[in-house]
Amino acid sequence: MPVRIGVAGWSVPTQLAAEFPSTGTHLERYGTRFSAVEINSSFYRPHQHKTYVRWATSVPPDFRFSVKLPKTITHEQRFIGCQDLVARFAAETSGLGGKRGPILVQLPPSFAYPGDIAEQFLHDLKVAINGPVVLEPRHVSWFQPEVDLMLKRQHVSRVAADPARFTSAAQPGGWGGLAYFRLHGSPRIYESPYSAEAVQAHANSVAALNACGTEVWTIYDNTTFGAATQNALELIAALQALKHSPSMIAD
């Protein structure tokens, strides 16, 4: 199963420009080094089908995009009466074709687990998308055994986030076929770079999960000062080193 590493957005920080080709769009240059990217702008506003098509044609065949579900669905409608919104989103993002990866469903911290409403919504979303879905809940009520079982039934993976609001939120949950990490920076969210030790520890975790047959995504979101791109490049290097020294996984 693939290991995918990327950043929330595809900007190329000036201080790292030498790590990328000097010509092409930002996305074209980004796609030469990374295998994935997370589109966050879709959370705030829709993009036309042709825009997604253009993005898809800008990257290599094995590149994948994860796309964040609009806030009108997750934060405003809260899964209720949003069939038309989901259908529109599915149609727009279909422009990515086979390069559309997981749909990221991030919930507001105040959104408590709504029981059957959640299970029906996730089922309908997966039917509309016909692809993987990852869920990032941020209310404690979602971190219960019965919710984890529901996510497994729906083949929906729970995001592992850092910093985590709860201990269990730091680890992947739900369906085990896909692990999706969103690393926002710690201690200063969106700003702090991860240390070499933290990157190595995460590389060990990624390698161990992947060895068990899990597809693993890592998205760095500590983008304010360019640390995300640096950490993503460091993670790629750390995983490459592990391939040549598998015993390091246990260190």
Under 8 Å CB-to-CB from 26, ≥6 apart: which residues?
10, 11, 12
Residue 112 burial (CB count, 10 A): 14
Do strands 156-158 and 173-174 pair parallel, antiparallel, or not at all (unpaired)?
antiparallel
Residue pLDDT, tens place only, 57-105: 999 999 999 999 999 999 999 999 999 999 999 999 999 999 999 999 9
pLDDT, tens only, 16-61: 999 999 999 999 999 999 999 999 999 999 999 999 999 999 999 9
- What is the structure's pLDDT at 4? 98
CATH class for the region spanning 3-244: alpha beta
**Percent of all residues in the chain with a pLDDT value above 90, rounded to a whole number:** 95
Q: What is the pLDDT of residues 172-202, one digit of tens each?
A: 999 999 999 999 999 999 999 999 999 999 9
pTM of the model: 0.95
